[in-house]
Amino acid sequence: MLAAMGEGPEREDRGPADVERFLRLLREAPVRIATATVGIDVTRLEMRTTDEPWSANDILAHIRAAAGNRERFIDRMASGGQTSLGFQSARAELRKTNYVDLPFAENLAALRSQRVSLVDRLAVLPVEHWSRGALIRDRPETVASYVRYLTDHETAHCEQIETLLRSVRAPRG
């Protein structure tokens, strides 16, 4: 049954080039966040506005919680022993943490550490194991589909942080 899970409407992201692309995107997310926040005052990183109710730190906390959540699924699927996994949302995960209350620098350092560990685990995973999967919410998912979800999610939130802080860097006329 699991061998057929990857067949269907989802695109296949399991070749060596796909794996390298995913690993690159996973490595880049913390770097993008760090680059976007260089020279930005800590109070600005924690500022919420009417236009953007999430601060840069809130977004980073959400990224951390979502990454931790998805990494557990990825690790369980990569082990090859699971056929069905119970779903837990990233937002529910965030509510269980104190990430929003932590300083931005601490959140970023933790994400970097967490990310190095994930990339190290995935880099040695044989390409064929990226198709290992499980049913999650009655949907077939694989290591590759969850890594793709994680990279897509983080790319969107990196863009959100970059856009949010771009106005701080814009020259005033």
> Over its length of 173 residues, how does the chain's per-residue pLDDT go in tens digits?
334 344 433 445 568 999 999 999 999 999 999 999 999 999 999 999 888 899 999 999 999 999 999 999 999 999 987 677 877 777 878 888 999 999 999 999 999 999 999 999 999 999 999 999 999 888 999 999 999 999 999 999 999 999 999 876 554 44
Query: Strand (E) positions, the chain?
Result: 84-85, 133-136, 139-142
Full DSSP string of 3-26: HHHT-SSSPP--SHHHHHHHHHHH
Kindly list the structural domains of the chain, giving each domain's residue range(s) and its CATH number in brackets, ordered by start: 2-7+22-167 (1.20.120.450)
State pTM to two decimals: 0.87
